[in-house]
Structure 1
């Protein structure tokens, strides 16, 4: 069996070597010639899997995408050809939620203010939006959800309209798939008109798809409204962000919000499980067996965890400032954006760090403080 896999997908060798020969490829430049004799194709969101790519792949029996979205996959053509497909919904949801939370703590620190007390508006209440809401609610923040599709489907959570969210939220976090048609299309959801409706001092963070915000319009708006603070992990025109936009953004990263070791391992592992089922084989690997142990545990010796101390704890598992600095240094080079993603292998999730009181003494760490950290996702 021949397995063609994106070279930036982690743990492919560890999980799929038992099935046959693995050929690693550049997912962004993958050609039909490279996949014509493949039995299995493993991709990420940078690869468009359509008739042009796989029409001559006569042996292809399975396509796996280690992503949440499927907008890069021609599902109808796969079905027509009888090719099995699986993506990995939710694989990096925790990572994206924690990224949004950490990024906003960093922004508050940079601006000399507090995240505590702000109203958070989440646009898109799927896997990543729900994970972000979990973090914000664990920290005691009021969260407003906007998702007209889930609302129409009967989701039991409370929802508000996008206009109401914009009017009430101090922070807006975007977590929608990219759709170009229909009543709820998200392409340029935040165009120039909508960006100009943001109330004074709004914080806007995008960790889903770059084209949810009209980046050219964002440049224009930011040039006249410096009160709006922006964090971008995704960019229109990736892997070539608009150079004029980068200096206007408070934190800038190369589409790595979901790039925790746990999230990446989980995505590849979900594809491995699907292929095992397809081949009627019992899985011989485990998810936890892929991950390295974390270096240390944290014992709290303070009765109160203020926001500065919380941010320091978050930086133990992920220091956003490092990625921001690297991005600004090299995003403009020919391969800078993709190289930053490929080399991003250091980030962990909150669950990698166990947090407990320093002793049984009640003054060492309040029970509410420990409960909040465990609700955020830190281990016990």
Structure 2
């Protein structure tokens, strides 16, 4: 059995080498000829799985994407060709939520503006949005949720319409799929009219899909003097992004919000488990076998540790400003895809075990840190 896997997917050999021969590919350069005699295709979001790519896929029986989003996959085509498909919903939800939390604390520090009593609007309440909302219960924030699809399905009672949410929030963060048409279209959800109407001082975070915000319109609004704090992990036309926008962005990164070691590896594990289920193979391997021990595993809190110190623990594990610095320093010489491919190892809050006598232990556990009994 021949297994073709994106070069940026971790642990594929560890999970799949016993099943077949693993060969790696560049996600943006994959051609139809490379799929000749391939049984399994494991991809990420940069590869468009469409009729053109599958033109010579004579043996393909399974396609898996180690991502939550599936807008890069022609699922109807796979169904028509009787090719099994699986995505990895929720694999990087924790990672993206922690990216947002790191950004919030960094902005709070730099703006000398406590998070207490601010209102944050979460647009899109799927795996990521709901994970973020749960974590934010640890902070003294008012959380507004916008997801008209879930609301229509009776799954979100507290839904706030988008324009109302934009007007009421101090921070707005997007976690929607890319939907290009229809009633719930998210392509250019933030168009020039909405961007111009945003209140001064608003923080706008996009860690979903770059096309959700009209990047050219955003540039024009910022050049016209809009007072917005921008945190952008995703961009239109990746990897050829609108570099003129960078000077207006507080924290910029190369579509890596979900790229913790745990988040990426969970995606691989989920595809392995689904493939084994479909083929009647016993799934015997688990993530704990493969993840390395992080550099820092424990922290002891003193009695003086308080709510204001939580940011220090968050940034001990991950500070978004590191990734902003890497992009600004290296984008011109190395390019977007190279920075993404060579992204430094990042771990999740749960890798740090907290002990000590502090009234903040419950909040830290809610954020995702491991709290010793």
Partner of residue 302, structure 1 = 303
Partner of residue 365, structure 1 = 358
Q: What is the SS of the residue equivalent to 2:27?
A: coil
Q: Distance in 2 between matches of 1:305 and 1:259?
A: 29
Partner of residue 102, structure 2 = 102
Q: What is the SS of the residue equivalent to 1:271?
A: helix
Contact 1:261–1:345 (CA<8 Å) still a contact in 2? no
Question: Structure 1 residue 226: deviation in Å?
Answer: 4.2
Give the structure-2-normalised TM-score.
0.97
Question: Structure 1 residue 292: deviation in Å?
Answer: 1.3
Runs of 4+ aligned structure 1 residues displaced above 6 Å come to none
Partner of residue 78, structure 1 = 78
Q: Distance in 2 between matches of 1:273 and 1:231?
A: 34
Q: Distance in 2 between matches of 1:78 and 1:318?
A: 38
Contact 1:265–1:290 (CA<8 Å) still a contact in 2? no
Question: Structure 1 residue 312: deviation in Å?
Answer: 1.4
Q: What is the SS of the residue equivalent to 1:28?
A: coil
Q: Distance in 2 between matches of 1:102 and 1:85?
A: 34
Q: Distance in 2 between matches of 1:238 and 1:87?
A: 21
Residues 170 and 303 (structure 1), Cα distance of their counterparts in 2 relative to 1, 3 Å cut: same
Question: Structure 1 residue 134: deviation in Å?
Answer: 1.6
Matched positions, count: 370
Alignment of 1:186-335 (within 5 A): 186-294=186-294, 295-307=296-308, 309-333=309-333, 335=334
Alignment of 1:163-178 (within 5 A): 163-178=163-178
Q: Distance in 2 between matches of 1:109 and 1:249?
A: 17
Partner of residue 339, structure 2 = 340
Contact 2:95–2:260 (CA<8 Å) still a contact in 1? yes
List runs of 5+ in structure 1 lacking aligned partners. Answer: 358-363
Q: What is the SS of the residue equivalent to 1:331?
A: helix
Tell me if 1:374 matches 2:365: yes
Give the structure-1-normalised TM-score.
0.95
Contact 1:40–1:60 (CA<8 Å) still a contact in 2? yes
Question: Structure 1 residue 345: deviation in Å?
Answer: 4.1
Question: Structure 1 residue 167: deviation in Å?
Answer: 1.1
List runs of 5+ in structure 2 lacking aligned partners. Answer: none
- 1:312-339 superposed Cα distances (whole Å, 9 cap, x missing partner): 1112211222111110122234x52112
Q: What is the SS of the residue equivalent to 2:167?
A: helix
Question: Structure 1 residue 241: deviation in Å?
Answer: 1.2
Alignment RMSD, CA only? 1.2
Question: Structure 1 residue 51: deviation in Å?
Answer: 1.2
Contact 1:96–1:131 (CA<8 Å) still a contact in 2? no
Q: Distance in 1 between matches of 2:52 and 2:20?
A: 25
Contact 2:4–2:38 (CA<8 Å) still a contact in 1? yes
Partner of residue 360, structure 1 = none
